[in-house]
A and B are shown apart, each in its own frame.
Chain A
Amino acid sequence: MLKSINLSFQYSGAPSISFPDFTAEQGDQWLILGPSGSGKTTLLHLLGGLLSPSTGNITLDDFHYSAFSPAKLDKFRGENIGIVFQKAHAVQSLSVMENLLLAQQLGGKILDKKKIMNLLERLQIAHKANQKPNRLSAGEQQRVAIARAVINQPRLILADEPTSALDDKNSTEVQNLLKESADAVNAILLVVTHDNRLKATFPKQLLLK
């Protein structure tokens, strides 16, 4: 269960941004909407532990990780939170397989090629396992990003505009794969977007002002 209470963040020299309290149960899938500048990415980075809040608490399964030390937070994030960005930003010198092995290692998990192959098969990119990421199409790269976010079976999956760089067909596919992958590991899925194509499929939505 993810809980965010009384959360706010202030960039230096700018007014403080406050975020509505909300609670997400395990398996919940939320869409976070809002106009540009409403702090969508800031909220996602706060929830992902990439940024520390000015006030408020974030807890995941009773771990009050917004108050963790940097070292503890890095470890917690690697083990429990998977993040998908607008672009995959995979390590260019490594193959798709090696990128996922790296994710397992950084998350402190056992290196398991078989598990990775199964996941890649589900995401329909198993045949690209030994390719370098820059040889893949945008849609395929986004699948790699999803694979990387879910490989360690996180409790929480965050996605920041995961479909805005994709065409309609790929957008739908990536959206479905994201939801399926989150379901498969029973993770909370939070998607931040201004992509209207996603609105119809997420019943739970949080609107930022």
Chain B
Amino acid sequence: MNILHLSWKNILNKPLTLVLNLVLFSLGVGLISLLLLVNVQLEDKFEKNFAGIDLVIGAKGSPLQLILSSLYHLDAPTGNMPISESKAFLNPKHPIFKKVVPLSLGDSHRGYRIIGTNASFVDLYEAKLSEGKLFEKTMEVVVGATVAENLKIKTGDQFQSSHGLIEDENLVHEDAKPFIVSGILGKTGSVIDQLIVTKTQSVWAVHEDHDHEGETEEEHAAHLDHDHAEEEKPLADYENQSITSLLIQFKGRNIQALNMARNINENTNFQAATPAIEINRLYTLLGVGEEALKALAMLIIFVSGLSIFISLFSSLRERKYELAVMRTLGARPGFLFQLIVFEGIVIAVLGFLCGIALSHGSMILLADFLEKSYRYDFSAAIFLNEEIYLFGGSLIIGIIAAIIPAFQASKTDIHATLADNKG
């Protein structure tokens, strides 16, 4: 029968009030915790997917769209870059570019994007093979960990890609050569987990076949051989082909490098976008909504604190005789003070726990939705340091809400209260 036990009994004695307080408190805490969860994971995803890229070059259009499509594989690509016009960027002895990774986008397999590129793309995300080997020949692919897991793909499997980025059986390249899975990548936590990676030439090969529909089997085979023979040519030599975009790492961050983006934008048919700038712009856009939600959550928490305060305060009026009688039984004023403070704390702790359960519960639903619509895997099972601060904050709100009623209780005038009650 310690104080905490008595506080607990007192709270349980008013179940409706308890439910109201818990609903309010857990809504506030849950909303904040959910915002933190989404935010941290989103920033984490964005950060990991930066992959050290300083610049993305692609067809003209929205720079944000270029970044989203080429770095995060979220949006549709902006258009094509003919190789004949992009030769300068593909020069391996470029004075400013340290690394240039070509991307050819536009095809997918059961909703997972196929990226035509080269081995350096896999290195960008520091992905390691978990089985098989890297693609060497045209039509060989390596598959990201999540793709392999969800589509149950194994090394040696074959599949046909479909045109476009959404799952649509009508758009499958049925007459094209199948892709052959040469290897599976280990989990990295970055976007490559959700991708199917192959050589640029493989993507071209799929679309080339459309142009050769009249070919006989022999001619077709000859054409394939021809492709194989050409495989070792540098990308810049495929004058008639196009790619989607280029991911660039600079040698150093000097003035030349910084002017590069403006130069490209002003003097070529292409655009250059800096990931950091575009993502910051995106954060600013999202930030307004996030700030509004945060303010709403703070308001709910404030109201729940007020509700705890009011319910404790009004319960004092009902309980003033029993509090006075406890004093006559030998309870010190400090006992009554602690009793009421503990009631505030217990409600706050319960509210916090309900809120965390609420946020992680909704995160499970949200992760499911995000995975289905964006192929982005979020986790509901991670717990953040910020949630410890949230716990601390909850305790403080519980204490603040209880402190005035607690002080009032500790000042109970035994004589006045009990002499007053003469029926």
Q: Tell me the A residues contacting B by CB distance below 8 Å.
A: 41-42, 45, 48, 50-51, 71, 74-75, 77-79, 83, 85-87, 89-94, 98, 101-103, 105-108, 111, 148, 160-161, 164-165
CA distance A102 to B330 in the complex (A): 10
Contact of B152 with A by CB under 8 A: no
Contact of B326 among A71, A79, A102, A161 (CB under 8 A): A102
B413 → A minimal CB distance (Å): 9
CA distance A144 to B100 in the complex (A): 87
Contact between B324 and A89 (Cβ–Cβ < 8 Å)? yes
A107 → B minimal CB distance (Å): 5
CA distance A44 to B330 in the complex (A): 16
Q: Identify 22 residue pairs between A and B in the complex whose beta-carbon atoms are under 8 Å apart, listed by A's number.
A: A41-B419, A42-B419, A45-B415, A45-B419, A50-B328, A74-B332, A75-B330, A86-B423, A89-B322, A90-B322, A91-B325, A92-B13, A92-B318, A92-B319, A93-B10, A93-B13, A94-B9, A98-B9, A103-B329, A111-B1, A161-B422, A164-B423
Contact between B328 and A93 (Cβ–Cβ < 8 Å)? no
Q: Which residues of chain B in 399-423 are interfacial with respect to chain A, using CB atoms and an 8 Å cutoff?
A: 414-415, 418-419, 421-423
| Count class of interface residues, chain B | 20 to 34
Contact between B321 and A89 (Cβ–Cβ < 8 Å)? yes
Contact between B423 and A51 (Cβ–Cβ < 8 Å)? no
CA distance A75 to B322 in the complex (A): 18
CA distance A208 to B422 in the complex (A): 18
Contact between B415 and A74 (Cβ–Cβ < 8 Å)? no
| Shortest Cβ distance from A160 into B: residue | B418
Beyond A41-B419, A102-B329: 9 further Cβ-contacts under 8 Å?
Answer: A45-B415, A50-B415, A78-B329, A85-B421, A91-B6, A91-B322, A92-B13, A93-B13, A148-B329
Contact between B1 and A102 (Cβ–Cβ < 8 Å)? yes
Contact of B331 with A by CB under 8 A: yes
Contact between B326 and A48 (Cβ–Cβ < 8 Å)? no
Contact of B294 with A by CB under 8 A: no
CA distance A93 to B323 in the complex (A): 12
CA distance A92 to B126 in the complex (A): 65
The 10 A-B residue pairs with the shortest CB-CB distance in the complex, in nearest-first order: A78-B330, A93-B13, A89-B321, A93-B9, A106-B329, A106-B330, A89-B325, A51-B415, A50-B414, A93-B10
| Shortest Cβ distance from A51 into B: residue | B415
Contact between A50 and B1 (Cβ–Cβ < 8 Å)? no
Which A residues are CB-close (under 8 A) to B328?
48, 50, 77, 83
CA distance A71 to B419 in the complex (A): 22
A182 → B minimal CB distance (Å): 17
| Shortest Cβ distance from B325 into A: residue | A89
Which A residues are CB-close (under 8 A) to B415?
45, 50-51
CA distance A41 to B417 in the complex (A): 12
Which A residues are CB-close (under 8 A) to B13?
92-93
| Shortest Cβ distance from B319 into A: residue | A92
Contact of B423 among A83, A87, A91, A94 (CB under 8 A): A87
Contact of B422 among A86, A106, A148 (CB under 8 A): A86
Contact of B12 with A by CB under 8 A: yes
Contact between A106 and B331 (Cβ–Cβ < 8 Å)? yes
Which A residues are CB-close (under 8 A) to B1?
98, 101-102, 105, 111
CA distance A53 to B39 in the complex (A): 65
Contact between A74 and B418 (Cβ–Cβ < 8 Å)? no
Contact between B322 and A107 (Cβ–Cβ < 8 Å)? no
Contact pattern, B 219-231, Cβ under 8 Å of A = 1, otherwise 0:
0000000000000
A40 → B minimal CB distance (Å): 10
B316 → A minimal CB distance (Å): 13
Contact pattern, B 305-333, Cβ under 8 Å of A = 1, otherwise 0:
00000000000001101101111111110
Which A residues are CB-close (under 8 A) to B321?
87, 89
CA distance A89 to B326 in the complex (A): 9
A108 → B minimal CB distance (Å): 7
Contact pattern, B 8-34, Cβ under 8 Å of A = 1, otherwise 0:
011011000000000000000000000
CA distance A66 to B9 in the complex (A): 35
